[in-house]
Structure 1
Amino acid sequence: MLLALVMLSGFGGVLAAGFAMPLVGATSAVTNAGAQLFNELPTDFNALEPSEVSVILAADGTEIAQFYAENRIVVPLDQISVNMQNAIVAVEDRRFYQHKGVDPTGMVRALVSNASGGSQGASTLTQQYVRNVLVEAGVQSDDPAQIAAATERSTARKLREIKYALTLEQTYTKQQILEGYLNIAAFGPSTYGVEASAQHYFSHSAAELTVAEAALLAGMTNAPGAYDPIAFPEAAKDRMDWVLLKMYEEEFITQEQYDEAVTTQIEDMLHVTNTVGGCAAAGSAAYFCEYVVGEIENSPLFGETEAERRQLLLRGGLTITTTLDPAKQAAADAAIQEYVPTGDPSNVKAALVSVQPGTGRILAIAQNTNYGDATEDNPTATQISLGVDALHGGLENEDGTSGFQPGSTFKTFVLAQWYQEGRSGYTPMNTTPTRFPAATWKISCAPENADDWNVGNANAFEGGTNNVIRSTQLSINVGYARMTAAMDICSITDLAAKMGVTTNAGEPLAPKPSIALGSQEVTPLQMANAYATFAAHGVYCKPIAIDAITDSDGNALSVPSAECTQVMEAEAADQTALTLTYVMRSPGTGMTAALAGGRPSAGKTGTTELMDNAWFAGFTPSLSAAVWLGHSESYSPMNNQVIGGRWYSTMYGSDAPAPLWKMYMDGALAGTPHEHFPQVSLGVQPTPTPARTPKPTPASHEEDGEAGTSTTEQSAQPPTTTVSGG
């Protein structure tokens, strides 16, 4: 005691606050050098806001997922039970309301206790708050040295805490300091701040904490892991009872309250709610969630580096309102599960992405896999999103693209450029299989890509003379090869690029003749959003997944813009859309996708050569969606097998993708009025001449198919070098 009094009186002039400097530790620390060090320490202290949970919401405000480095919910003091406030003061700093940041009396008490073999800390709540803030600053700046300095056992660290505590008490009220501590401290091994801890252990807010619950939480701050009531209920109960005794001794509770609380058992108190952070908690919206994360991590709007952007997401307390439409997401999930259920023995994968025309807003992203890492019980689980590009969680192919070969769904860009150049949908052409010499092609930006190409059709009846509309309706490969030959292929890939169909680097796809039949990989999102451009009369909008973001203070942050622009003539876009409505009518390849009640729709089937990729992309004036089926690991045929409980002798875009698309669209548009496409002219009609009328074939052969497939109709066709088609 004498030693402590000497220590507290001998350096009375050191502290600017007007009372002695309470040094902790060996007497060797009490030196003139120590006093000089104290005086040289800075007095400015930034009581930064602690890390908070970021929340991702659907467009209707429902929660999708939470992201956090520390599970913490910051709340004002008036939303924290007085029981909790009293409990933490009783156990951590009973003279909190009397001292000025440092408690000389407490220091003497701790010194005497420790000298006699006890173990008692001497830090006030203010000092503990300072320490927590310094640690948090190191964590937020990812600075291990700063964290170590804030937690080391040294006189220098203690002196720094003391000076900062004195400064803090001159600028903050006791209520502000208590609020800060209750929000930043750990009240469990995985929860920070009393609100998140109350929600975790008791499934209610900190405002509702009872005396017993408050004592349980307050007892954990000393050692959150050792006193965790879930893992160590007996140790937690002993600690809780000790806190209750301190609350009683400090007259925070009555004898009756103490008696009632001390008889409360741990198992009767706990109602645990486990919060899972990240997209794993988003359920069927997990892959949409991944897209949102990709938007934040890749956009300079949220920080100069990816590390800064990640920190903002994990610690910034953001409220991220997204474009996700829960009803449409549910409709997408239902359609996929109906046709290719998760874990289907065929191992066929399915993905559907839906976009709102004229806005770029992504409304749904679905696929038939569980989000996560593959396990023995769930071997198909994956975090890879099959519907989007590599920057948003998708696969990246060796050529710098993402996604899968689209087959004849890519023919739509040939059609769009055809109309963009003022050509007619009634232009007739010979669609009999033939060989196109390299000199046929005009490729101004890459003439070296010209090559000989043998092109066949999926069905024998597709030969003869057919116009553009008919070639589109039946997806006649040779017709589209002739259309491609009539134009500069670079103009086709450039137009597709203007609609977002590019490599991952944002470059146009390679301008090769086979591009007309979808020989290069694209993503379902690219196709859904490009087709939305036709629905929007030629206005392309970059896909967006975020409507708004506010920070922890409610301030709005900038978000990526759709940057909608007119990328093709409105009339040409409307002509493209109107021509694609013929695909939905008999004998069109997409007639199995015709919507309920005669709702107007437009679309295009797509199938690759070995039936290893099958697509349907289509739209109404207000909704666009693309469906892909295939194997995500490597291309493998899907015909002659059972998929989703149905036998498929073929797997054209009309077989499973089209009815899957129809089921989604019917559900997503249920209860909405029918909308119609503009009835524009499809061009000048040629003078009527006698022409062969193609004889309709059975429905199973009306799909556009792949040149070079092994079907009976293909056997007589010349060899082909393409790997894509209808």
Structure 2
Amino acid sequence: MRTGDGAPNKARALITFVGVSVLSGALAAGLAIPLAGFAGASSEQIVKTVQDLPRELEVEPVAVRSRMLAADGSVIATLFEQNRVPVRLNQIAPIMKTAIIAIEDSRFYEHGAIDPKGTLRAVIRNHGSGEVQQGGSSITQQYVKLSLIEKARTQAERAKATEVSYERKLTELRYAISLESQLTKNEILERYLNLVNFGDGTYGVQVAAQHYFRTTADKLTLPQAALLAGLVKNPTGYDPTNNLKRAKNRRDVVIRRMLELKVISVHQANLALQTPVIDPAKVNPVANGCASSRYPFFCDYAVAQLLQNPSLGKNPKQREHNLKTGGLTIRTSLDPRTQAAAQASISSHTKPTDTAVAAITIVEPGTGLVKAMVQSKPYGNGRNHTNYNYNVEKSYDGGYGGFQNGSTMKAFTVAAAIQAGLPLDYRINSPEQIDLSDKKFRTCSGVTRDPDYHPRNSTRSGNLTMVEAARYSTNTYFLQLSQRVGLCPIARVASRLGMYNAQTLQPLDQVISMTLGVGYVTPLQMANAYATFAARGKYCRPLIVLSVRDKANRPLRSPKAQCNQALNAGVADGVNKVLGAVMEPGGTGGKLKFGRWDLAGKTGTIQENKAVWFAGYAPNLAAAAVVADANLPYTNLMYGHTLDGRDIRDPTGSGTAGPLWETAMRGAMKGLPLRHFVEPSKKIINGDRKELPDVTGLDRAAATKLLREAGFDTTIANKLVASPVPTGKVAYTDPRTNSGATKGSLITIYLSKGPGQP
């Protein structure tokens, strides 16, 4: 062996190092392998192995659970990979520090990173008792090992951090020596007590104290501290929620060791030994994630929003990890009082066993704050449970993606018509059934037609104003209105108010029947769009997550309120006036009005009754309720479907979804200030009407030319009408001459078939 390079000295140092390694924990754990691992290796190889070992431990921030809060600060959910709340050493009861040192490393403050004397004593004691009662590794070494396991991100890294090998043990020892040169003993003990696993899903002494004893780390008693200290050796085997007898035996070992070291008196020991281990009735359940939340669907949706936030990480995987380990405080928009009102409505009008599903969302106008989100099927995988959130779009795995919304779309047609300058008393002759086959409807990209379309009313027909047609939800009126206004303005209004296909996340289709319902939309979309009317045209994107703060209480960037004036305030006032008539006696929502509130709303029933809606609002809150078949293929609600345990015999927006809306809003509005809609201006009420040229008696060509020169579009009715005017000449127009029309309006020319019954 050469002497010039100091190899013998290094080898001797290594032998000492390895010997200490064995004594410092490997034997106590039954691992008689470090020395064997060196068999056959030359001193040069051994020295090289040691030289290649890392010297400084890079400790990652300890994983800390995150909390999701409601708007009032109450906890919605805890999210964690390890349930941990770090505390400072001065926030831990002295008896806890005494207990953990006594059983794990009684000479902790006397030795360096390694304690050969303590290790030998542990070996002898463990050998004599036939089981591991005392550990051989110092607290510093244990902390190093736990830190390496904590750093592991993959299965391979975890396997390496726990493998049975001399290299791992030497690595831990090297790290331990380095650590003790950087940190004080108290700093190491504080980190250790915050990192260690105390069983039953708890990490760190603070959460363990809360979980097992409903107390805090600074208030732990001797028997409580002894139990926790004993758990460290085998968190699962000594878990008192698994085996009270084993837990007591282990706790008592700790107490007797403390007595042996004379850190407690005989009297204290006897009292502690007689104390019950835990009171099972007082053990706090470990609630992790949205499934354990009081509001699981809202929580899931909030998490989905957070996983899109770049401030939490570069990709969804990093964001999820940070969400569960970063000790974040997430404040949300959910208002427990409003949520309770919505839930009371669901509980009053539905049962989990119903074949139909119901959902309600409540939004605050002018802020976009989502105050409540409830549904009739409970969260979970069991029978009559679901993991789908029926209130939201299909932008994440749990989002259901909405339902067709029926006549709630008429509100956007009203807005487009008022925006175009039509008066609120704009009349259209609206028979029970009309023939719109092959009629042109203007879109943003041209025109569309339906070769065979004969829609009809399910409510009142006649020569109705816009207010009357909204009150009765007259289909033939709104189809003709949408033809005159054009589908493009309606689509643009709807889009500005947050409406899109919740299944595909694409714009709504511009089809002839658009005003009667189109695509798939959600209660969240409907409530928030109608909230825009309540806020006099101020649209705000739905806001779920209000703020995110890290464990140092520093704010992280998160989406803020995004609001804009999507509709002219006067136009919104006009919509409120029209939809307010729906809530008056005789209107489809007349039976849903309550209190002295100004209320407005709209019913919605889709084709073949596959879903029914009621969306409505006061100046303070807006809500949308839906009852639907959520199973593919969708079927008619009146055939074989139940709600509140009874057959649905006549599904309607007012009679089926309406009561859900009314009960939720009645409860949510309690205690809120009485506010009123702004009365629309005379210009909005009367519209921006131009005088129509009188073309009665002219031929079609002359009438068309005159009307178009005046700035109107024209179409010829497909049937002749009885009139004293000569056959083939213009009998009248719709709208009539004395009604006037807005510039660019579609004027229908009716030609005469000669005298007869008008």
**Residue aligning to 2:698:** none
| Kept after mapping to 2: 8 A contact 1:527/1:617 | yes
Q: Give the TM-score taking structure 1 as reference length.
A: 0.86
**Residue aligning to 2:428:** 429
Identify which range, 676-685 or 104-113, moves more after superposition: 104-113
- 1:301-341 Cα distance to aligned partner (Å, 9 max, x none): 32221111211222222111111111111110111221223
Give the secondary-structure state (helix, strand or coil) at the position aligned to 1:604: strand
Equivalenced residues, count: 661
CA distance in 2, matches of 1:434, 1:27: 95
CA distance in 2, matches of 1:39, 1:662: 76
Give the secondary-structure state (helix, strand or coil) at the position aligned to 1:435: coil
Identify which range, 522-531 or 408-417, moves more after superposition: 408-417
**Residue aligning to 1:309:** 319
- 1:4-53 Cα distance to aligned partner (Å, 9 max, x none): xxxx99767679xx999833244355644333333333333232222122
**Residue aligning to 1:389:** 393
**Residue aligning to 1:338:** 348
Q: 1:599 to 1:647 in 2, by over 3 A?
A: farther
CA distance in 2, matches of 1:414, 1:275: 51
**Residue aligning to 1:198:** 209
Q: Pairwise mapping of residues 13-92 of structure 1 onto structure 2 (< 5 A)?
A: 22-24=20-22, 25-27=33-35, 29=37, 31-92=43-104
| Kept after mapping to 2: 8 A contact 1:387/1:394 | no
CA distance in 1, matches of 2:315, 2:67: 21
Q: 1:234 to 1:610 in 2, by over 3 A?
A: same
**Residue aligning to 2:148:** 134
1:320 partnered with 2:330: yes
1:676 partnered with 2:710: no
| 1:223 counterpart (234, 239, 244) | 234
CA distance in 1, matches of 2:658, 2:34: 80
| Kept after mapping to 1: 8 A contact 2:501/2:519 | no
Give the secondary-structure state (helix, strand or coil) at the position aligned to 1:212: helix
1:79 positional shift: 1.9
Letter of the 2:559 counterpart: P
Identify which range, 190-199 or 86-95, moves more after superposition: 190-199
Identify which range, 234-243 or 419-428, moves more after superposition: 419-428
Letter of the 2:180 counterpart: E
| 1:255 counterpart (245, 257, 266) | 266
Q: 1:446 to 1:629 in 2, by over 3 A?
A: farther
Letter of the 2:686 counterpart: V
| 1:380 counterpart (384, 409, 412) | 384
CA distance in 2, matches of 1:210, 1:339: 50
CA distance in 2, matches of 1:649, 1:228: 56
- 1:686-719 Cα distance to aligned partner (Å, 9 max, x none): 899xxxxxxxxxxxxxxxxxxxxxxxxxxxxxxx
| Kept after mapping to 1: 8 A contact 2:18/2:170 | no
Q: 1:321 to 1:281 in 2, by over 3 A?
A: same
**Residue aligning to 2:257:** 246
| 1:477 counterpart (468, 471, 475) | 475
1:275 positional shift: 2.1
Letter of the 1:122 counterpart: G
Identify which range, 261-270 or 465-474, moves more after superposition: 261-270
Q: Pairwise mapping of residues 148-547 of structure 1 onto structure 2 (< 5 A)?
A: 148-266=159-277, 271-283=282-294, 285-344=295-354, 347-374=355-382, 379-391=383-395, 394-396=398-400, 402-432=401-431, 433-445=433-445, 447=447, 451-459=451-459, 461-462=460-461, 464-504=462-502, 506-547=505-546
- 1:421-458 Cα distance to aligned partner (Å, 9 max, x none): 22222221121121113342112336467554211101
1:270 positional shift: 7.4
CA distance in 2, matches of 1:45, 1:495: 60
Q: 1:481 to 1:212 in 2, by over 3 A?
A: same
Q: Pairwise mapping of residues 1-16 of structure 1 onto structure 2 (< 5 A)?
A: none
CA distance in 1, matches of 2:673, 2:286: 41
CA distance in 2, matches of 1:190, 1:530: 43
Letter of the 2:582 counterpart: V
CA distance in 1, matches of 2:184, 2:280: 33
1:241 positional shift: 1.4
CA distance in 1, matches of 2:54, 2:622: 60
1:357 positional shift: 0.8
CA distance in 1, matches of 2:82, 2:496: 42
CA distance in 2, matches of 1:144, 1:488: 60
CA distance in 1, matches of 2:245, 2:645: 53
CA distance in 1, matches of 2:276, 2:227: 11
CA distance in 2, matches of 1:456, 1:585: 24
- 1:367-393 Cα distance to aligned partner (Å, 9 max, x none): 11211112xxxx211121111112356
| Kept after mapping to 2: 8 A contact 1:20/1:104 | no
CA distance in 1, matches of 2:614, 2:50: 73
CA distance in 1, matches of 2:414, 2:171: 72
| Kept after mapping to 2: 8 A contact 1:352/1:625 | yes
Letter of the 1:153 counterpart: V
Q: Pairwise mapping of residues 561-710 of structure 1 onto structure 2 (< 5 A)?
A: 561-596=560-595, 598-634=596-632, 635-639=634-638, 643-644=643-644, 649-681=649-681, 682-684=684-686
CA distance in 2, matches of 1:115, 1:216: 23
Letter of the 1:178 counterpart: L
1:605 positional shift: 0.6
Give the secondary-structure state (helix, strand or coil) at the position aligned to 1:465: strand
CA distance in 2, matches of 1:269, 1:627: 42
| Kept after mapping to 2: 8 A contact 1:51/1:70 | yes
What 5-or-longer segments of structure 1 have no aligned partner?
1-7, 397-401, 689-726
Letter of the 1:414 counterpart: T
Q: 1:270 to 1:176 in 2, by over 3 A?
A: farther
| Kept after mapping to 1: 8 A contact 2:614/2:626 | yes
- 1:514-533 Cα distance to aligned partner (Å, 9 max, x none): 12101321100000001111
Percent of aligned pairs sharing the same letter: 36
Q: Give the TM-score taking structure 2 as reference length.
A: 0.82
**Residue aligning to 2:748:** none
- 1:238-297 Cα distance to aligned partner (Å, 9 max, x none): 2111111211122221121112112223356873121221223223x2221121111112
RMSD over aligned CA atoms reads 2.7
| Kept after mapping to 2: 8 A contact 1:293/1:392 | no
- 1:587-625 Cα distance to aligned partner (Å, 9 max, x none): 2111122121x2101110111232231111011112110
| Kept after mapping to 2: 8 A contact 1:496/1:508 | no
> Which structure ranks higher in relative contact order (CA pairs < 8 Å, sequence separation ≥ 6)?
1
CA distance in 1, matches of 2:35, 2:537: 81
CA distance in 2, matches of 1:59, 1:330: 14
Q: 1:269 to 1:335 in 2, by over 3 A?
A: closer
Q: Pairwise mapping of residues 90-101 of structure 1 onto structure 2 (< 5 A)?
A: 90-101=102-113
Q: Pairwise mapping of residues 711-726 of structure 1 onto structure 2 (< 5 A)?
A: none
Letter of the 2:685 counterpart: G
- 1:471-523 Cα distance to aligned partner (Å, 9 max, x none): 11111101110111113323322321221111345421111111210132110
Give the secondary-structure state (helix, strand or coil) at the position aligned to 1:610: helix
